[in-house]
Structures are given as structure tokens and as C-alpha cells.
Structure 1
């Protein structure tokens, strides 16, 4: 072989070297692109996780808001019910376990005019309670000053300008000037005065005196008390 031929041969890269370079380049590219792909994949996963966390927090906040609103509605409903119950208890019937007898406006020989109250038929000695809180303005025999037909009687003045009267009592347990609360014991029922049998005569008045009575059943009904 000539020297020229030898020289040319020596400058030509061998196939094995070329193949090695290509493989190396390929591996390098693969490594580079693989790393980039992995980086991109990691970034996407982190973004998805952040979105999921944000959505979860938003869902929790919405759920909490819904629960809070529900709790507020329930609290408001309870408050309203309590207020209604309190209002209903602000007045009450003057006796328990009774039978209604003569009603308001009834005519008859027993009254100079029409019946001025509602009669509750109860045994003598039945506890009589204040129908509403107030101050005693009349208490004693002779209807507390309204006349002998009422027997022993009490009249209570209430803060709304109305008066309640309790008559035919066997015993009076309060004095003029006393302040009483709703449901407080004020007397025992009886059969005194112009009475055909044991009962409590009950009136609602616009003044403390006879002649100013209004229908007590209708009044109590307006105060959420049904008898």
C-alpha cells in the first residue's frame, strides 16, 4: 500500500467510533429530554395538587357557610318560639281544672244587667292565681268596693292599662298595694256574695270599677290563652 493511501485511511474515522458518537449523542439527548419531561411532569402534578387543595378549601368554606346559615336559622326559629312561648305565658287562666259556666254577656235575674265576666266552676278552696303580673288596687269584702253581689273580691291593675277582677272568694291572700306575678296565688275560690254555687267570677276591665268590663275570653284569646 502507498503512503498516500495510508495517509488517507488514517484520517477517515472508523465506523465504530462514529457509531459510538451517535449512541452517545442519542443518550445525551434522551437524558436531556427525559429530565425536561420529568420536570414538566412534576410541575403539572404540583399545580394539580394546588388546585385540588384550593377546591377542597373552597368546598369546606361553602359547607361551613351552609352549616352556619342553617344554625342561624335554627337559632332564630328557637328564639322566635321562645318569644311566642313567653308571650303566651304572660297571661294565663286564673284557675286550673275548671268547667266554664255563665259566660260574658249572659242575661238573667241574678244580674242587674248582663253578666259582666266569665264564671269558672270550681270547688270551694281552689287556688286562684293572678292572670297577669300587676298591682293589687282592690281587695276585700263587699266586692272590694264594687258591691255586695261580688262577695270577697280582688282587682289587679296591669301595665297595659287593663284590670282583672276575681270575685266570690272564700279567702283573700293579698293586700292593696301588693305587686303580684303571673301565676302567683292570690286567693281561694268560694261562694260568697250573689252566687248560685261554688265558682270564680273573673273579669277583664278597662278601669278598676264595675261597669267597664270587656269579654274576658276574647281578651285572653288575643293574649294566646285559650280557655
Structure 2
């Protein structure tokens, strides 16, 4: 009798233990499943801000590049007039008297530079005259170039050692057009520069005053 009781109690205990183990297994599974789901959700939630951050960063970079390009274009447009040569010393000025000039008055501004210095277009335009004999303005100018600008004025470059543009060619501000020299009626290497109201001799205006009005301090 007591043996049966013992046996019965033992079986009940085993069943209870098994039930507890199974229950514990379900609990562990539930906990693990919840944890996995939470981890997945967390990873997904973390991934979204990361993607958004990368996208925003790329967009900001693109906008910065666009702004930089626009700024450079605006700056380039603003610098619309420049000096015709670099590293110069001003010599004979406009309307200066002397026996060197055909009319007794100097018609431009001289920039004293060595032979072979790059001569640049002071403003964008179209080349309308080139060649020796002052490009048709007389032998005193030597080799010369005349450029017509969009605002109805002309720039002239004389005493050149070499001409590197041709009639009809469009040039931009700062573009190389020739090399300085000592051709024509010249007392030494320099660039003779004029601003004119026509392409021809006799229409020159004060080039320094003109360039100063354009923001160029000659």
C-alpha cells in the first residue's frame, strides 16, 4: 500500500517536473523570440536614421558643390576687365607731350615690360585688326592688334614682337593674344595700350581713366 503510494507520488512528481520543463521551454522560446524580434526592430530602426543621415550628407555635399560653382562663375563674371600685362611699370601716359608721338601727344598708356611677355585681352570681344604697320594705323605702332568689345569700345595693343590671334577670332577676358616687343617707333621694350571709340587711330580716350571706371586700378 505504501509502495503504491510511493510509486504514485513518484510518478506525479515526474509528470510535474516534465510539465515544468515544457513550460520553461515555452517561456524561454517566448523570451528568445521576443528578444530576436526586438533586436530586428532595433536594427531596422537604427538602419533608417543611418540611411537618412547618409542621404542628407550626400545632398548637402551636392548643394555645397553647386553653390561653389555658382560663386566661381559669379566671381569670373565680375572680373570683366583686367590689365593687359602683368608685372609692369607705367611709363609714358595718355596725352603726354613729346617728339616720339606723331601728333605731339601720346595716344595711350605705355606698360614697360621685357620683350616676350604675354599680352592679354583686357575684356572679351572680337579681333578686328592685326598685323604690322600698326594693323593699318601707321608704322609707328609696329605690330598691333585691335579688339572690339561688346560695349562699343575697342582696345589696341602695339609694339608687339609676335601676334597670336587673327581677325574674326573671339577672345575672352584674360586670354593670351600676343607677346610684348619693341617694334615700330619705340624707345625700348614696352606695350602701348589704347582704348578707342572706333577701331582706328585718332579715336583714343584716356585708357587709365577708362580702366579705373571699370574697377581696374592701373
TM-score normalized by structure 1?
A: 0.64
- Of the candidates 101, 111, 122, which is equivalent to residue 120 of structure 1? 111
Flag structure 1 segments of 5+ consecutive residues without an equivalent: 1-9
| Secondary structure at 2:176 match in 1 | coil
For 2:20 and 2:195, locate their aligned partners in 1 and report how far apart those are by CA, in whole Å. Answer: 102
Q: Is residue 195–residue 204 contact of structure 2 (8 Å, CA) maintained in 1?
A: no
After superposition, the CA RMSD in angstroms is: 4.2
How far 1:57 moved relative to its partner? 1.8
Q: 2:163 — aligned with what?
A: 173
**How many residue pairs align between the two structures?**
205
Could you say if the C-alpha distance between residues 184 and 201 of structure 1 is closer, same or farther in structure 2, counting changes exceeding 3 Å? closer
For 1:44 and 1:64, locate their aligned partners in 2 and report how far apart those are by CA, in whole Å. Answer: 30
Could you say if the C-alpha distance between residues 36 and 206 of structure 1 is closer, same or farther in structure 2, counting changes exceeding 3 Å? farther
Alignment deviations for residues 127-176 of structure 1 (CA, whole Å, 9 cap, x no partner): 4534155433234536743x78x633431123564422113x15563787
Q: Is residue 172–residue 188 contact of structure 1 (8 Å, CA) maintained in 2?
A: yes
- Of the candidates 199, 211, 216, which is equivalent to residue 208 of structure 1? 199
For 1:26 and 1:51, locate their aligned partners in 2 and report how far apart those are by CA, in whole Å. Answer: 37
Q: Is residue 170–residue 189 contact of structure 1 (8 Å, CA) maintained in 2?
A: yes
Q: 1:38 — aligned with what?
A: 28
How far 1:51 moved relative to its partner? 1.6
The structure with more radius of gyration: 1
Q: 2:181 — aligned with what?
A: 189
TM-score normalized by structure 2?
A: 0.66
